[in-house]
Amino acid sequence: MKKKTTLSQSILANNIITILIPMILFLLFVTFIIIDRYEGATVEKNRMIAETISDQFEVILEEPVSLANYIERELLIRNQTIDKSFEDSLGSMVSEYDYVFQLEIVDEKGIVFSGSDKAQLDMNRSGETYYKTLQGSKDGNFWNTPYISTATRGLAYSFAHKSSEGFYVVVYVDISALSDTSTDFALQFGDQIEVAIVDEFGKYLSHSKKENVLYRQVDENIPVIKSIVKGETDYARVTHDGIEQLLTVADINLAEWYVLVYQPSDIVFNVLSQLVFLFAGVFIIALVISTVYAFAYTKRISAFINRMFEAIDGSRDSQYKIDLPDFHYKDLNGIGDRFTDLMNEVRNRDAMLYEMAYFDSLTGLGNRQWLIDRIDNRGQDSTGTSALAYVDIDNFKLVNDIYGHDVGDGLLSAVSELLNKTFKEEHVEICRLSSDVFGVLFCGNFLMPSFADRLNMLSEQLQQGTFVESNIVKVSISVGLAIADEDSNSHDKLIMNADFALYEAKRSDRTLLRIFDDRMHERLHKKINMSNFLKVALQKDLFELHFQPQIDIVTDRIYGFEALVRMRDLNGELVSPGEFIPVAEDSGMIIEIGEWVLREAVSFIWYLNQMNESEYKMSVNISTIQLNAPGFVDKAMEIIGIMGDRRDLIEFEVTESVFIQSEGEALEAVKALNKEGVKFSLDDFGTGYSSLSYLTRMPFDILKIDRSFIIDVDTNEAKKEMLESIIEMGHKLSYSIIAEGVETMEQLGVCKSYGCDIIQGYLYSRPLTRAEIEKYIMNYKKDN
């Protein structure tokens, strides 16, 4: 991933680059211009030197030519007769010419017949190159390659001229003397150039380093030299003596020799470097000034950006401090203004969201999240949170159902005001945690007696009635109290304890206040253990179904059976339904257990009816939670599908809690199943509100009178009357009436006398297993 840099770093870097790149380009441009111009001038100067030396050499080389021609003429005049005066004149010619050290006249056979060196007379030159070269021609000139002369002990060359008469005039020239001449001449132009003369193979004939001539060294650049002479290029950059040099060449036409002028190319750079350093100095100063300015500028931008960062960081903690510096740049100011507007908008939105997230819109009180924050911020000790009370309005749903939601909302507002009034103290804070549950948070010292007194006052006040929208609504409350535990370090425990205390208060009827203690804690653990065991029980088939017969006392036949679920522990002992059913309901396991019960019960009644060709009914208890569960209707229809068109033989027993604890979903489920033929009975009738309005709103077929009405109905006149009234009312509403818990003949007698339709109870049979039911049916048929 590409590494990121900051804006100010980037501005600084780019500033340096924008200075450096033009600087480098400018320097390169200037360098190339100067190199080009200076190099051109240098080459032009060197060419002039080379050509001057070349011209000078042309003159020098003319000497042996003119000398040879002179001797030839003399000999022709003398008709090739050699006398002493001629030989003497040859000797004086040698001393007269600076570069000539020997003269020879060779006959057409190659024999030396005259010369300045008498020792050479009669020597045979027929092996010499000039002789071999000119032998076949009528006349001509030849320049021999340089060699070391025994006479001069130095490098020499010979010029041979063949006369038309067949003899040869040979002039020996001392190259060392020539070399000295050219070297001296070159010194006039300073020591920065090196002048050399080479033959066609690059062998030095003249050089400032005499040993190069003496050693017959070869110039390594001879191919380049020839290309310059040919005009392929004006000059060349070559390596000579291990360094790069500019090479200029002029040729000496007379002998196919070349004058070379070398000049190190770095001489150009020496001149250039001063200029480059000057420019570089100027640019560096410019770079420093520019960088300092850019640094100051980027510091201001950084400050601007940092302020924005600070504002953004502050906004996370709801600290909206926006203090951006004013720039003289419109765009940055524009960004600043818009950022300020944006932060203000965020602040307003934040406040609104905070309201929504932390406060209840109806009462204006804090909500659960507010409570959690409060506890967390304050801590839980003597100076922080000390206690939390959950205040729940009992059966608040009934208020909504009876008076409507406006009244319900009005009641909630009234309760919140009352709570505020009751606990109007600095260290107490009120919040609304759910629909009908309020929280009272105590900080600092918590005084239980004072709290209890105020709570009683509040309860009495509510029970006496609250005036809400022209209605006097009387409600009771339940309160769970948890005292802060100094060991706990989070809100979780306190809230859970208060919640559990409230749960306990609700469970125990008519109890205003329950304070969380360790026993509750144990119960809580038990509940958790039971919840875990229920899962195990389902997996290990520890549930079993018992069936209690229901007898139609009009026909004295078996009406049907009520399916009653039982569970065994791992030791095989039965566990009381009172222990596990509430836990199953609380944990949601009731949905799975209920499905199992329904499947078992339906398949059993279908089996019994098939076996006995009967029309027994099967009554199954359905909890509110099951009815509220999504997909329950479909699941139930799938299970009772086995009954075919006799779904009317299945009866679902529901309690009044269906109407109190649930919204419309449960009622819709009841209606849907009833429409499909399933019968519904209202269980435990008479123990709760027994509101007649439920009966009119719901499609019940059967009322099951709770066993509490039956227990002493034979001796309690009031109950007799109530039983009579219920049965009479039920019949008037076309319900069948089932009396539960009938254990004695007296109770049966009373029920019969009031026209009760069906009896269920130990008088006829306790709940039986499948096998026992089959036996019971057989025996019952036999007895009747």
Partner 1 sequence: MIRRLGYYAICICFMIIMLLSGCKKEPVKIGLVGNLGDTGSDLSVNTMYGAMLAVEAVNDAGGIKGRQVQLVVKNDMNDPKRAVEVDNELIEEGALGIIGHSLSSMGVEAVPFINEKGIVMVSPTMSSDMYANKKDWLFVVTPSTVFQSIRISEALFEHGHDNIGILYQEENKAYSYQMVSDLKGVFEEVGNIVFEKAFESSKEGGYEEAVSNIENEKITALVIMGSNYDIASLAQVFDSKGMTMDVYMPTWGMGEVLLDNAGGKAEGYYAVGAFDHTSQVPSYLEFKERYRSKYGEEPTFSSLYGYEAAMLLLDSIIASDDFDRKKIKEVLDSTESYQGLQERIILNENGDSIRTMYLMQVSGDDFIRID
Q: Which stretch binds partner 1 (CB under 8 A): 92-100, 213-221, 759-767, 770-778?
A: 213-221
User: Among residues 223 and 631, whose Cβ is nearest to partner 1?
Assistant: 223
In the complex, minimum distance from the CB of residue 123 to partner 1, in angstroms, rounded to a whole number: 5
Rounded CA-CA distance 625/717 in Å is 37
| Choice between 158 and 386, CB closer to partner 1 | 158
Tell how strand 155-162 and strand 140-143 pair up: antiparallel
User: Out of 50, 53, 155, 415, which residue is the one contacting partner 1 (CB under 8 A)?
Assistant: 155
Q: Report the nearest approach of partner 1 to the CB of residue 9 (Å).
A: 4
Q: Does 216 bind partner 1 (CB under 8 A)?
A: yes
| DSSP track, 318-378 | T-----PPP-S-HHHHHHHHHHHHHHHHHHHHHHHHHHHHHB-TTT--B-HHHHHHHHHHH
Q: Which of 91, 154, 264, 582 binds partner 1 (CB under 8 A)?
A: 154
Q: Which of these ranges, 143-151, 401-409, 591-599, 725-733, lies near partner 1 under the rule CB under 8 A?
A: 143-151
The reply to whether 129 sits near partner 1 by the rule CB under 8 A is: yes
Q: Kindly state the smallest distance separating residue 211's Cβ from partner 1, in Å.
A: 6
Binding status of residue 242 toward partner 1 by CB under 8 A: yes
Contact mark string toward partner 1, 266..305, x via CB under 8 A: ---x---x--------------------------------
Minimal distance in Å, beta carbon 271 to partner 1? 13
Nearer Cβ to partner 1 (246/494): 246
Residue 382: Cβ within 10 Å count: 12
Residue number, 232 or 266, with CB nearest to partner 1: 266
- Residue among 7, 59, 76, 148 that touches partner 1 (CB under 8 A): 148
CB 176 within 8 A of CB 210: yes
Q: Tokens standing for 715?
A: 């001796």
- The yes or no reply on residue 5 touching partner 1 (CB under 8 A) is yes
Residue 143 Cβ vs partner 1, minimum distance, rounded to whole Å: 12
Using an 8 Å Cβ cutoff, are 99 and 63 in contact?
yes
Q: Can residue 78 be called a binding residue for partner 1 (CB under 8 A)?
A: no
12 is a site residue for partner 1 (CB under 8 A): yes
Q: What angle do CA 559, 561, 567 make, to 5 degrees?
A: 175
CA separation for the pair 376, 374 (Å, rounded): 5
Q: How far is the CB of 103 from partner 1 (least distance, A)?
A: 18
* Distance, CA of 307 to CA of 315 (rounded, Å): 12
**Whose Cβ is closer to partner 1: residue 178's or residue 412's?**
178
Q: Which of 110, 166, 314, 688 binds partner 1 (CB under 8 A)?
A: 110
Q: Are strands 702-705 and 477-483 parallel, antiparallel or unpaired?
A: unpaired
CA distance 480 to 483: 10
Question: Pick from 79, 85, 150, 539: which binds partner 1 (CB under 8 A)?
Answer: 150
Would you say 77 or 296 has its CB closer to partner 1?
A: 296
- The stretch near partner 1 (CB under 8 A) out of 197-205, 486-494, 557-565, 737-745 is 197-205
Asked whether 432 and 420 are in contact (CB, 8 A), the reply is no
Give the dihedral of Cα atoms 309, 312, 317, 318; nearest 10 deg: 140
In the complex, the smallest distance separating the C-beta of residue 344 from partner 1, rounded to whole angstroms, is 35
Considering beta carbons, is residue 70 or 201 the nearer one to partner 1?
201
53 binding partner 1? (CB under 8 A) = no
**Does residue 768 contact residue 548 with C-beta atoms inside 8 Å?**
yes
**3 state DSSP class of 516:** coil
Contact between 158 and 144 (Cβ < 8 Å): yes
- Comparison of 23 and 362: residue with beta carbon closer to partner 1: 23
Give min distance, CB of 216 to partner 1, in A. Answer: 5
Determine the Cα–Cα distance for residues 446 and 467; give it in Å rounded to an integer: 31
- Provide the total of helices (H) and of strands (E) in the chain, helices listed first: 25, 27
Residue 125 sits in the site that holds partner 1 (CB under 8 A) = yes
Query: By CB under 8 A, is residue 161 in contact with partner 1?
Result: no
Q: Token pair for residue 725?
A: 């009234």
Q: Considering the rule CB under 8 A, would residue 17 count as an interface residue with partner 1? A: yes
132 vs 349, beta carbon nearer partner 1: 132
CA distances from 197 to 98, 182, 215, 391 (A): 19, 8, 14, 121
The HSE-up count of residue 289 (CA atoms within 13 Å, CB side) is: 6
Count of CB atoms situated within 10 Å of the CB of 463: 14
Taking Cα atoms as reference points, which of 546, 548, 551, 545 lies closest to residue 738?
551
The one segment of 208-216, 368-376, 448-456, 487-495 that binds partner 1 by CB under 8 A:
208-216
Q: For residue 65, state whether it binds partner 1 (rule: CB under 8 A).
A: no
| Count of other CB atoms within 10 angstroms of residue 394 | 19
- Retrieve residue 107's tokens: 């006959």
HEC profile of 133-180? HHCCCCCEEEECCCEECCCCCCEEEEEEEECCCCCEEEEEEEHHHHHH
Q: Enter the tokens of residue 388.
A: 């939390």
| Residue 127 Cβ vs partner 1, minimum distance, rounded to whole Å | 5
In the bound complex, what is the minimum distance in angstroms from residue 215's beta carbon to partner 1?
4
77, 119, 296, 771: which one binds partner 1 (CB under 8 A)? 119
Residues 23-52 that bind partner 1 (CB under 8 A): 24, 28, 31
With b meaning 16 or more CB within 10 Å and e meaning fewer, what string describes 533-569?
bbeebbeeebbebbbbbbbbbeeeebbbbbbbbbbee
218 binds partner 1 (CB under 8 A): yes
Q: 431 near 366, Cβ under 8 Å?
A: yes
Taking the CA atoms of residue 80, residue 85, residue 86 and residue 91 in that order, the dihedral angle to the nearest 10 degrees is: 160
256 phi and psi angles, rounded to 5 deg: 55, 45
Q: Which stretch binds partner 1 (CB under 8 A): 194-202, 378-386, 414-422, 489-497?
A: 194-202
| Span near partner 1 by CB under 8 A; candidates 127-135, 179-187, 353-361, 593-601 | 127-135
Residue 201 CB, shortest distance to partner 1, in Å, is: 4
The enclosing H or E element of 628 equals helix 624-628
Residue with Cβ nearer partner 1 (134 or 705): 134
Size of the site for partner 1 (CB under 8 A): 45
128 makes contact with partner 1 (CB under 8 A): yes
Nearer to partner 1, 278 or 448 (CB): 278
Q: Give the DSSP H or E segment for 544.
A: strand 543-552
Task: Report if residue 611 touches partner 1, rule: CB under 8 A.
Answer: no
Question: Which of 2, 77, 127, 190 forms a contact with partner 1 (CB under 8 A)?
Answer: 127
The DSSP 8-state label assigned to residue 705 in this structure reads E
- The contact pattern for partner 1, residues 626-655, with x = CB under 8 A and - = no contact, is ------------------------------
Which of 265, 708 has the CB closer to partner 1? 265
Does position 470 interact with partner 1 (CB under 8 A)? The reply is: no
Would you count residue 582 as binding partner 1 (CB under 8 A)?
Answer: no
The residue among 35 and 65 lying less far from partner 1, judged by its C-beta, is: 35
CB nearer to partner 1: give 199 or 653: 199
CB 91 within 8 A of CB 76: no
Question: Which residues of the chain form contacts with partner 1 (CB under 8 A)?
Answer: 5, 9-10, 12-13, 16-17, 20, 24, 28, 31, 110, 119, 122-129, 132, 145, 147-150, 153-155, 199-201, 203, 211, 214-218, 222, 242, 244, 269, 273
